[in-house]
Amino acid sequence: MIKVNITLICLVLIKSTLANDGFSYDIDQSELESLVRPALREAFQQVGRAIHRTDKNWKNEDVWKTPLRLFQYFKQPPCQETADMAKAGDIYHYTFDILQNKLKNRFSRATVAELAKFSGCRVNSMSPKCPNTCLATLYRSHNGDCNHATNTYWGAANNPFVRWLPAKYENGFSTAIGWESDRLYNGHRLPLVREVSNDAMNTSNNQSGDSSYSHMLVVWGQYIDHDIDFTPQSLSTSTFQGLTNCANTCENKSPCYPIQVPANDQRIKTAKCLPFFRSAAVCGTGDTSALFHKLRPREQINAVTSFVDASTVYGSSDALSNVLRNLSTDEGLMRVNALYSDGSRAYLPFDPSKGCVQDPRDLSGNKINCFHAGDGRVSEHLTLSAIHTLWIREHNRIARALKVINPHWNGEILYQETRKIIGAYHQVVNWKEYVPKIIGPTGMAMMGSYTGYKTNENPSISNVFATAAFRFGHATISPMFRRLDESYNNHPTYPTILLHQAFFSPWRMIREGGIDPIMRGLIGKAAKLIVPSEMMHEELREKLFLLQNQVALDLASLNLQRGRDHGLPLYNDWREECGMSRADNFSQVAMEITDALLRSKLERLYKHPGYIDVWLAGLAEELLPGSRGGKLFTCMLSRQFKFLRNGDRFYYENTGVFTPQQVAALNRLSFARVICDTTGLTEVRRDVFFLSTYPTGFVSCNSIPSLDLMAW
């Protein structure tokens, strides 16, 4: 018998005096004992076995040779608290599935309380006790708690995404859109996501470049996305009932929600479906939610802090932050790589628990692991790893300078002050340089100027932003990974390669020239332009994480399936939310989706414009002037970035966070200066997000203002 663990993050949902709370019991206590406890034991066994099997597979070196495992790698919970929540949620919901037939929906509060108590379920975050100390007043917590005085969990890690519109699930509570293959929408079945990817999003690697912006705009978007949201998937890669590997089944059995391959798809020769895993649910939502104090559909976990706070550098938990710090000295430094260096500059440390793709030509046997950073997705692509590397170098540079200016500061103050500066630096780059370019004048007017901290604006990331709107950037990724020399020409030694060859490959950075050629490639080459006829090139649609001739993943299908998994409302609901009229036919969306050929494809697929998946609908719209989104995404992006800025008590321009002199020093900064201070580049654009051909528009690093640390 498995011992039920009640020491997990338990939150007793119902008052202990259940018999006196006025609730009418559907079953008596003896029946509760005879049914609930055995079901819980069975759920613990089945979920435990499935997770154990997955954990065992991770230890097999060969798993890093498959694209599926690489995809799973960066969807795993980032810390033990998140893993506990995900496991508790799986046990909770699977127990409910077991009991559903036995109890015939005769559930009482007592039943639910038992499930919650013994599965380790946490339906809502408990408001933390916020310390009233000098340090807590001056510096934000690593997990984001206590930013708001009363809603202390707003923006904190391991909390549900917020909803701007009610969730849309097929059974009203938890089953994903498309879960039931015969379900009709306006009299028609929704198209398979792979069918949509094939018919409406398919294009070659010959792409239109963005004439205005460099590829740095794309990678900063991905980096800052990882700073503010992360949705872990189920801990198991097998079905709970039968323990069938999700890669070997085309049935919808939690946590598996496979992507069906259409009969006319070339992939049907090798696979009838592509594996997909549902996102981990917040315990106590979904089918059981009606039994709580208010109706609550299935929600997903944001495992990192919502704030733009450089959690990518420092982590979203105290435990991870302590691992990443160099505590061997009292200088407030971050750990760096002990085995390799980029000339005189540091690399990120390796994560000893995470293997990565190895150089197939190397016979030395010296393994190069994935990098270790505040966000586990750091090694997903070399361009992302390069941005992470900049900030770890910048932290240590600033910490050493502050030690000279303030020799009386101990290591903790040096660390916290530097972390605070780096967090502010992220905000400067994001709101001053990046955001205006993606939301344009219309979005900037919607976001408005900063007028101070707003206690009524929730900075928590919304589900639709994380799952659809901010994924607009996937359509701006170049199919090529470019490395350039000192004159911003193609590097003679390290040539341009296809995008998929740079996934999970830190060895290419270590052994192929460091980060300088990568940074020049980001600054000196164009982003992909969002064009309705060129939505998703084959590097992402047919070769995502392609390794050793394995069946690769399809990013377009993954994004569409994830939106359905999360219960995102479809196009018409969001049109109305963003001030547009609901559409009854495709001629009524012609003002937004102006490409006639694309509209005809969407009509053939969806039959009705109101049921288009929201991520695709946003990409299909004509870009607003000066932006990289149409009406729908501009509405969502500007709203979220407004809440993130205004609802953050530690936003750098908020009165009292920094002194006026410090704010003035920070406002003179640019991302270009970070690059100059942390790499071997000597010439860059003042705004590295703008594109021009070298040497036009490039200036010496000596002419770019530095951070005046004397204000500290």
Annotated binding site: 474
Segment holding 81, helix H or strand E: helix 80-103
DSSP for residue 433: I
DSSP-derived pairing of the beta strands 536-537 and 202-203:
parallel
Q: Is 279 helix (H, G, I), strand (E, B) or coil?
A: strand
DSSP codes, 331-376: S-PBP--SS-EETTEEPPPB-TT------TT--S----PPB--SSG
Nearest CA-CA partner of 265 in 204, 202, 198, 200 = 198
Taken in order 487, 490, 492, 496, the sign of the CA dihedral is positive
Q: CB-hemisphere CA count at 13 Å for 329?
A: 13
- C-alpha 427/C-alpha 358 separation (Å) is 35
All residues at 6 or more sequence positions from 194 whose CB lies less than 8 Å from its CB, including other chains: 259, 260, 261, 262, 265, 267, 274, 554, 557
- C-alpha 701/C-alpha 696 separation (Å) is 15
All residues at 6 or more sequence positions from 193 whose CB lies less than 8 Å from its CB, including other chains: 178, 259, 556, 557, 560, 561, 564, 613
What is the total residue count of the chain? 712
Paired tokens of 180: 């039931």
Segment holding 274, helix H or strand E: strand 273-274
Q: Is 537 helix (H, G, I), strand (E, B) or coil?
A: strand
All residues at 6 or more sequence positions from 504 whose CB lies less than 8 Å from its CB, including other chains: 64, 70, 73, 356, 357, 370, 379, 380, 381, 545
Nearest CA-CA partner of 274 in 195, 176, 204 = 195
Annotation says 226 is catalytic: yes
User: What stretches of 502-596 adopt beta strand conformation (E)?
Assistant: 526-528, 536-537
CB atoms under 10 Å from CB of 475, counted, come to 26
- Which residues are documented as binding site for heme b? 474
Nearest CA-CA partner of 601 in 206, 265, 195 = 195
- C-alpha 663/C-alpha 643 separation (Å) is 21
Q: What phi and psi values does residue 350 have, to the nearest 5 degrees?
A: -85, 150
Q: What phi and psi values does residue 308 have, to the nearest 5 degrees?
A: -80, 90
Q: In this structure, are residues 283 and 84 in contact, taking their beta carbons and an 8 Å threshold?
A: no
- C-alpha 560/C-alpha 276 separation (Å) is 11
- Residue 62: is it exposed, middle or buried by C-beta count within 10 angstroms (0-12/13-18/19+)? exposed
- C-alpha 358/C-alpha 514 separation (Å) is 16
Nearest CA-CA partner of 687 in 679, 696, 677, 698 = 698
- C-alpha 10/C-alpha 540 separation (Å) is 41
Paired tokens of 538: 């084959």
Question: Position 534: which residue type?
Answer: E
Write down the catalytic residue from 93, 142, 148, 226. Answer: 226
User: C-alpha distances in angstroms, 255 versus 77, 180, 389, 564?
Assistant: 15, 15, 35, 14
Q: Which residues are identified as catalytic?
A: 226
